[in-house]
């Protein structure tokens, strides 16, 4: 069973976390199931960038992003070559190391 290592993030998980994942499960769903409240203002519909993460290890094991996700990622703060929307990136057979950016561009949520 693959695992996701969430790197320490001041706001989301200060100590970091290692979580078991099911193949086919999104990074976002694994995070939420383990108490890491990554924002997802569009309710996982690939219509915003609030769930943007950077996959530090295991990126090549993920299915490639589609055009819609790429268009959304172009708007993400702190975009890196290994950036993905966590609501779209599905775990495969490899372990992942995921970094949650400190900032997001959020034009939808009223929480902030």
Q: Kindly report, residue by residue over 22-61, the tens digit of the pLDDT.
A: 999 999 999 999 999 999 999 999 999 999 999 999 999 9
Model pLDDT for residues 58-108, shown as the tens digit of each residue: 999 999 999 999 999 999 989 999 999 999 999 999 999 999 998 766 544
Measured CA angle at 65 (ends 63, 66), to 5 deg:
120
Backbone angles phi, psi at 54, to 5 degrees: -115, 125
- Please tell me whether the overall predicted TM-score, pTM, comes out greater than 0.95 for this model: no
Parallel, antiparallel, or unpaired: how do β-strands 83-85 and 52-57 relate? Answer: antiparallel
Domains of the chain: 3-99 (3.10.20.30)
């Amino acid at each position: 069973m693959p695992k996701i290592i969430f790197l320490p993030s001041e706001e989301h998980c200060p100590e970091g976390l290692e979580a078991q994942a099911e193949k086919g499960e999104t990074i976002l769903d694994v995070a939420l199931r383990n108490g890491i409240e990554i924002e997802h203002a569009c309710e996982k519909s690939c219509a915003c960038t609030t769930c943007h993460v950077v996959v530090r290890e295991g990126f090549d094991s993920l299915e490639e992003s589609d055009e819609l996700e790429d268009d959304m990622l172009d708007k993400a703060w702190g975009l890196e070559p290994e950036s993905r929307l966590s609501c779209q990136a599905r775990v495969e057979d490899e372990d992942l190391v995921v970094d949650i950016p400190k900032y997001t561009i959020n034009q939808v949520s009223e929480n902030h």
